[in-house]
Amino acid sequence: MFPMAKNWINERVKIDAHEVAEKINEPVPNYMKGLWFCLGGTPMICMAIQFFTGVLLMFYYIPYQDVAYESVRYISYEVRLGWLIRGVHHASAQVMIASLFLHMARVYFTESYRKPREITWMFGVVLMGLSMGLGFTGYSLICDQVSYWATVVGTNIAGATPVIGHYLLLFMRGGEDVTQSTLTRFFVLHVAILPAALIVAVAVHILFIRFHGIHYEQEDANAKKDGKGFYPFFPEHVLNEIGIFMTLILSFAMFSYFFPPHLGETFNPNVTPEHIKPEWYFYGVFRYLKLVSYQIGILGNLFIGLCLFFWPFIDQAIEKILGFAGAKIARYALGMLFVVVWATFTVWETI
Ligand code: HEM
């Protein structure tokens, strides 16, 4: 029965199942058993959890400014297990962003973005931007005081972009002010456009990882030739990832029970709250923007974003100028400087 079904499919779908299995089953270097090295799987797991819980939340969330807050309150306190779904969605979003930062740091400090992995890195930077966009638009959907005012401030910052700022603000808000049009736009971005873009970008990212294989050091490359130092993707690596998934989902559920996501008072466009806070992963940027004018801040952020995107090429240029050893030191120093400044600004904004 099974071979017949297999033949039937093979005659219609001209893909060699063995070839696909072989490609998927590429050996993984032993060091990928360490959490620091296999961190790329965590945002992927979180992304799947986000999609699943997000669809469930959509059954009850109403994207109309007059009732959006009430629908979130209803989900949180009245819908059966609504608190759990909202809590897991919220916790998973935080861990997705945190694991992305760590994944990016490990790729940077292990120099895994270098030739031939430049495109993998560039798609990674796009993924980072999309994930932060999802965080920003998702936060605005709650429509409590802090979330509403964070949307006002966030779009004001975008509005300060030189030359195109005002058009950008109008485009984001759907008018001069944060109104129903803004909520509609952010809702569509959050549930359709950004997730679709994320899926495509992750697919390309993973495809490139499969093309090049995971980066490994020379001694690992030698070990690969000897057939040592590697373990199979299936079932070992898949089982590791399933273990991480189980741990994450249990932790998210427990976290939702003991620390449910906050819901403040309903929004009031006429009363500005004393403290307007974005999500924690924007704290560093927010503090920096408070230190300089919005315009300089935006230009600075654009510059940093572009440097990150083109980093593999900048890195090559630095190596040409400083030589191999000099570039290694410069790379490490720059990375550490970036991490320390960002962490300091984040902590500064928290206290
Ligand atoms: C939703 C976002 C992302 C997902 C799902 C993802 C997933 C993955 C996975 C599964 C791997 C295999 C190795 C590992 O687990 O570390 C990987 C490797 C890689 N990622 Fe990501 N990643 C994401 C974002 C990023 C970001 C933000 C960057 C950097 C800007 C990045 C750059 C890279 C590079 C260069 C590699 C190849 C590393 C190597 O060969 O050792 N990724 N990614």
Residue range 199-243, pLDDT digits in tens:
999 999 999 998 888 887 655 666 666 667 888 888 889 999 999
3-class DSSP assignment, residue 7 = helix
pLDDT of 112 > 80? The answer is yes
* Mean model confidence pLDDT for the chain: 92
CATH of domain 29-278: 1.20.810.10
Residue 334 buriedness (CB in 10 A; 0-12 / 13-18 / 19+): middle
Phi and psi angles of residue 261, each rounded to the nearest 5 degrees, phi first = -60, 145
Question: How many Å apart are CA 120 and CA 133, to the nearest integer?
Answer: 20
Q: How far is the CA of 245 from the centre of ligand 1 (A)?
A: 17
In this structure, the residue with its CA closest to atom 11 of ligand 1 is 40
pLDDT score for 18 = 75
Ligand 1 binding pocket, CB closer than 6 Å: 37-41, 43-44, 47, 100, 103-104, 107, 112-113, 117, 120-121, 124-125, 127-128, 131, 202, 205, 209, 214-215
Give 267's DSSP letter.
Answer: P
pLDDT digits over 291-323, tens only? 998 889 999 999 999 999 999 999 999 999 999
Q: What's the average model confidence in pLDDT over 252-271? A: 95
Helix (H, G, I), strand (E, B) or coil at 230: strand
Say what the pLDDT of residue 81 is: 97
pLDDT in tens, 139-195: 999 999 999 999 999 999 999 999 999 999 999 999 999 999 999 999 999 999 999
pLDDT(63) > 60: yes
Determine which helix (DSSP H) or strand (DSSP E) holds 28, and give its type and residue range: strand 28-29
Could you tell me where in the chain the CATH 1.20.810.10 domains are found? Answer: 29-278
Q: Quick one: pLDDT band at residue 38, thresholds 50, 70, 90?
A: confident
Ligand 1 atom 38: residue of nearest CA? 112
Q: How much distance in Å is there from the Cα of 289 to the middle of ligand 1?
A: 29
* C-alpha 217 to ligand 1 mean position (Å): 17
Residue 61 and residue 125: Cα distance in Å, rounded? Answer: 30
CA of 321 to the centre of ligand 1 (A): 28
In the predicted structure, residue 59 carries a pLDDT above the cut 80 = yes
Backbone angles phi, psi at 133, to 5 degrees: -65, -40
Degrees to nearest 5, angle at CA 75 with 265 and 50:
105
* Of 13 and 17, more confident: 13
CA of 103 to the centre of ligand 1 (A): 6
- Give 241's contacts (C-beta < 8 A, 6+ positions apart): 38, 41, 45
Q: What is the pLDDT of residue 75?
A: 98
Indicate which atom in ligand 1 lies nearest the CA of residue 117.
35
Q: Give me the mean pLDDT over the 36-60 stretch.
A: 96
